[in-house]
Structure 1
Amino acid sequence: MPDDESSFVGRAAELRRIGAALFRGRGRRWLAAPGETATVADRHAGHVRAETRRAHAEWFGPARRGWYRRIAFLHSDLRLAADHLLATDPAAALELIGHVTFFWVCSGYLYETRQYLELAIRLVPDAGPDESRVQALWSLGLTRTLQGDHGPARETAVACRRAAAAALDAEGLARAAYLQGLLHLLEGRPLAALTVVEGRCGRRTAGTPRARRPVRRRRRRRRRCAGWSGSSP
């Protein structure tokens, strides 16, 4: 009896897949007849791009869990929109892919993310300050880092820092510092990682009382460490 049930479930699933494929094929033919395929693809890509902008803006907030589920649900739509924009508007594709990289790498789509980013960056010429390019370079650097490809990741981190400086993008500079610090940490250089990150954070928070207190605590710790090192045989 269990074998019969599993066989029935398998046949039902196969029929659903066949029905969905037939429905998609009929829809494509229906759109192609009046020449509306490109128009609908543009509208679809525009809607998906707007969704990724909202997800990126609200990621560090209470809506994060909902957006994570939403982006996971839209995965096929994102790929379809990215493919369409790479062929019609590479700059828009660069923005879209950069906005969903963090979602994708957290979901295990490292190879797919890297392929899309490398293609989009090649297609979009570096025409001056551009925050979308900064985001895409940071995303590519993160993806390469998580894949263990540290040499190219380091080059991308440097390119991200330069692009962020040219665009006067403070958040991009912080992301580049984070990426360089992460690379140092993964390669066994924790002090170098600390220097990079503290250097960037120090410039962002210098002069504020909350920033000075940790500095004083670090100085006290260094003096204590110096005393311990001097007392050791």
Structure 2
Amino acid sequence: MTDGWRAVAAPPALRPGDAHVWRVRLDAADELPALRALLSDDERARMDRFHRPADRVRFGVAHGWLRRVLAAYLDAAPSALAFGVGEHGKPFLRDAALEFNLSHSGDLALVAVAAHGPVGVDVERWDRAVECLELAERFFSPAELGALHALREDDARVVEGFFATWSRKEAYLKATGHGITRGLRHFDVPFAPGGAAALVADRLDVEATGRWAITGLAAAPGYSAALVAAAPLRALNLLEPPATGWGSR
């Protein structure tokens, strides 16, 4: 499992083969007015449709920091960034080749950035009320389901194993741009905890195993997260904004 987050006031150099993942805390209501001002009219409308104030804060902080992070790489104004949406719903930058992906769950957001090819990132807060084995029966491949069933005598390990596998599967679908509508049972991700690994199998795309690198991320206690990037992944930087001084160079 990859750990080692460091606070930086501006992005380091992003070289071919690199991926950067930014961790952002979402329980920051005091930041919301400044971050809301960076959003597009459509993003503000989406934010305001949330009924719970905490959900509005999480959405506004996540999407505001997405703009801040991407703008820092592009030397642009955060509010000036223009996004489009791909055929299966994956957002992209209209006027830049920078690849990115956003995921948020609970009080955390992760922003993945790369220059050499698509990326997908996913973070999941553990929910012990989830019927993990029942959901795995519906969505996991036979190999993944068998590995999870091997843990069934230990409820805590079942929860951790389920969310670790789910985050890797989501990150893979987001990286490919297909989204969850393509299904989750036709491919296998590494089940065992650990850092960088290859895709195990994709029965709809047999050559995919050589094109993608999967990395489990230690986002925070009680969370599972994963990054999927175009292979080979030369270097991974785990970053987060500092408490003060963002944007200084």
**TM-score range for the pair, normalised by the shorter chain length:** under 0.3
Question: Which one has a bigger Cα radius of gyration?
Answer: 1
- Using the size of structure 1 for normalisation, the TM-score is 0.25
The structure carrying a bigger strand percent of its residues is: 2
- Using the size of structure 2 for normalisation, the TM-score is 0.24
Q: Flag the structure with more relative contact order, 1 or 2, with Cα contacts below 8 A and sequence separation at least 6.
A: 2
